[in-house]
Amino acid sequence: MLPGRDRPRCPRCALPQPTGSLCGACLRDAPPFEATRAALDYAFPADSLVLALKYAHRLATTRLFVELLTAAPRPAADVVVPMPLHPARLARRGFNQAAELARPLARSWRLPVLLDGVVRDVDTPSQAGL
């Protein structure tokens, strides 16, 4: 069983929300983006699958994530833009997992993918270490 699958979520921040409507935090202080999608909660075994993709080069896991994301209605979007890695991290990892997910998602949604649409110029700490 995958954690949080089909759980109602706030359409803006994707945190669990029993009604599936905007949560109180987003109503009080809306974030600077319109929507977020979350197919699962970041808990076992989904967290292990994410780490396997990012650090063990298990690119086959992208298929599961893409299937979960495309099971929901297509987003109201014009383009898919993956979050880039800082060049130093990209050199260490050898690939950008967000780009690996963005390509098949864009194909499924019949949207263009813009791999160089944004730039990460600050080498922030790894989330795994936080």
Look at residue 16 and give its three-state secondary structure: strand
Cα–Cα dist 63/76, whole Å: 22
Q: What 3-state DSSP class applies to 102? A: helix
Count how many Cα atoms sit within 13 Å of the Cα of residue 40 in the half-sphere of its side chain.
17
Give yes or no for residue 129 having a pLDDT over 80. Answer: no
Structure tokens at 63: 């298929």
pLDDT tens by residue, 60-99: 999 999 999 999 888 889 999 999 999 999 999 999 999 9
Torsions phi, psi for 101 (to 5 deg):
-80, -35
